[in-house]
Structure 1
Amino acid sequence: MNANALYDTIKLEMNGKTATVTLNRPQSLNAMNPKMMRELLNCLKEIEKDEDILILVLKGEGRGFSSGGDIKEMLDLGGKEEFSEIMDVINDLSMTLYTMNKLTIAGIHGAAAGLGLSLALAADYIICEEDSKLAMNFIGIGLIPDGGGHFFLQERLGACRAKKLMWTGKVIQGQEALMKKLVDEAIPSGKLDRAVEKYITECLQKPLQSIIESKAIFAELNKDRLEKALQLEKAGQWKMRQTQDHQEGIRAFVEKRMPQFKGQ
């Protein structure tokens, strides 16, 4: 695969049995606009077909992993049909990552927020730097998590702690994320690439086909639950987009001020 020429918003590197996909909109902290979502989905589908690739690494270019969905571009979506189409892309992204017949690794530095965090949580193994900032911060604009955020947070934290994290929008740094078991490894700042390479080396010394087969069993057991969560999130996102609180959250974001929510 020589896919870099095909993509504007992501980068793809192939090295033996490993494919590394890098989110590449550093000027916007890798905010995910519709073009990036579609390019990422296309790239993941192609990697999934490649039987020589056994490990996928997902990371971000520049100062962070991903700040989440590109709010300004998402505001330009038209009516319900266009919204529904992009939500289907998001849902397909999460399902593809979760069920992919590869060992998947998310390498986080800087911000991993909103949809960016949801996609990172879809990976099998998450490594973050200690000064990373993880947040499921949809609450700040009157929305609910998407990309399977409800499912993935429940898997890692349990429902009660997942709700607390979503409802507060709290920003969690690397060591706290490790303590909460939100991630699998927290390493010093600037050491992410080395830590990812170390984990890949360890994995390549193991019977990876056995690991991937076990992953497939867990995915088969859980994918109906994930699919249900994704459909509920799609409906809930549309419902919340009609609320006054969401409109206020967006205005506050654009005006760089604290929102004044009214529960409406």
Structure 2
Amino acid sequence: MQYKTVELVIEGKTATLFLNRAESMNAMNIKMIDEITKALKEVAASSVNLLFITGKGRVFSSGGDLKTMLSSTDESMFHPVMDQIKNMIVTLYTMKAVTVSFINGAAAGLGLSLALACDYVKLEKSAKVAMNFINIGLVPDGGGHFFLKKRLGEHKAKQIIWEGKSIPANDALQLGIVDEIYEGDIEEQLTFMKTKMEARPIQAMIASKMIYSTQELQHLVETLNLETMNQLEMRNTEDHREGVAAFLEKRIPHFSGK
């Protein structure tokens, strides 16, 4: 299948999914979310047992496309987009393959949620991550609550969400948000990881993954549904409107708690 916003390369039992809106820092618009989902389903239906996800250009993904958000303020557009985000994340989380995200440059918001849905999360040495929905008066989506709680525990996950700060690589590793820091050319990293995994009993690894994903799937879906419900509520707040205005005007937002 041909895609416009992503590039999918399948070689034997290994697939690499490149987020490919480099001119927009791989911000996820409706088209890209749909194509990521279709590409993931293509991989899931194949014999692939190892999937890499990374970004073309300078960053992995800057998150959801704010232009899309501003142009789809009515509820009739909101729910189909959130349903597709849920479809994307569940497909990745339940895939019968070992999945690895290589975060180059930065991963923020929905981009970070996508990366965290993978089995391994690797971060470029100079890259940063941010669960920064709070800066425009929103809550994380894409299962961000679920994945951060899994990695950090509820208490620390709340702090990361509430602060919305950009976190450099070493701090992200120390906190446990990511699993490993990498340096150097991404193609070399992909080749190294592929060689490493080819020497492992990957079917046994996938079997363990499926035990956990089967146990936790209902919790993930419940979290995604709660995120949708709360995201819609937050989109109607004064704080969200102020956050978006401040972002567009490149100034510090002045929130009122309303």
TM-score (structure 1 length as normaliser): 0.96
RMSD: 1.0
> Within the alignment, does 1:25 sit opposite 2:21 as a pair?
yes
- Unpaired runs of 5+ in structure 2? none
Q: Would you say the 8 A contact 1:108–1:192 is kept in 2?
A: no
Q: Give 1:221 deviation, angstroms.
A: 0.7
Could you tell me how far 1:78 is from its partner in structure 2? 4.4
Alpha-carbon distance in 2 for matches of 1:166, 1:67: 16
- Give the C-alpha shift of residue 131 in structure 1: 1.1
Which whole-Å CA distance do the structure 1 matches of 2:81 and 2:28 have between them?
11
2: CA distance between counterparts of 1:246 and 1:193? 39
Name the amino acid aligned to 1:259.
P
Which of structure 1's runs of 4+ aligned residues deviate more than 6 A?
Answer: none
Matched, 1:54 2:54: no
Aligned partner letter, 2:197: C
AA aligned to 2:11 is N
SS of the counterpart of 1:75? Answer: helix
CA contact (8 A) 1:127 1:192 kept: no
Q: Which residue of 1 aligns with 2:85?
A: 90
1:197 alignment counterpart? 191
Q: Distance in 1 between matches of 2:168 and 2:12?
A: 33
Q: Number of residue pairs matched?
A: 258
Percentage of identical aligned residues: 47
Q: Indicate whether 1:255 and 2:249 are aligned.
A: yes
Partner of residue 70, structure 2: 75
In 1, the alpha carbon distance for the partners of 2:34 and 2:114 equals 14
Q: Which amino acid aligns with 1:110?
A: G
TM-score, normalised by the number of residues in structure 2: 0.98
Report the CA distance between 1:191 and its aligned residue: 3.8
Partner residue of 1:165?
160
Contact kept in structure 2, 1:63 and 1:110, CA below 8 Å: yes
Q: Contact 1:140/1:169 (CA < 8 Å) preserved in 2?
A: yes
**Counterpart-to-counterpart distance in 2, 1:227 and 1:194:** 35
CA distance in 2, matches of 1:116, 1:204: 28
Matched residue, 1:131: 126
Compute the displacement of 1:111 (Å): 1.1
Contact 1:65–1:108, Cα closer than 8 Å, also in 2: yes
Q: What are structure 1's unaligned runs of at least 5 residues?
A: none
